[in-house]
């Protein structure tokens, strides 16, 4: 079980070294928001009736949700990382 925790700890250390902006904008806004918004808009064009207002709403809402989700995930992971870093730095009793 410790190996799994160490892997997660090390993985987050590598991710955080690249910075918050890269994490939020690439992983959440671009990958989640823009990618899924594009899929929905393309699906509407080819499978359903396309409405410009719906497409515009989708193009705005999904990246916005991605930004919020990415920011919340960053904060949560940083708090876990800080807590675990302090625990790792303390010598075993």
Neighbouring C-beta atoms of residue 17, cutoff 10 Å: 8
The residues spanned by each domain of the chain are: 18-85
- pLDDT tens by residue, 24-83: 999 999 999 999 999 999 998 898 887 889 999 999 999 999 999 999 999 999 988 888
Whole-model pTM over 0.85: no
User: Residue 32: CB partners within 8 Å, gap ≥ 6?
Assistant: 62, 65, 66, 69, 70
pLDDT-derived band at 22, boundaries 50, 70, 90: very high
């Amino acid at each position: 079980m410790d190996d799994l925790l160490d892997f997660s700890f090390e993985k987050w250390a590598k991710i955080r070294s690249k910075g918050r902006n890269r994490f939020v904008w690439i992983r959440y806004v671009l990958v989640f928001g823009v990618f899924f918004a594009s899929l929905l808009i393309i699906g509407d064009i080819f499978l359903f009736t396309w409405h410009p207002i719906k497409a515009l709403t989708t193009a705005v809402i999904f990246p916005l949700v991605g930004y919020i989700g990415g920011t919340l995930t960053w904060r949560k992971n940083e708090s876990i990382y800080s807590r675990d870093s302090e625990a790792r730095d303390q010598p075993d009793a």
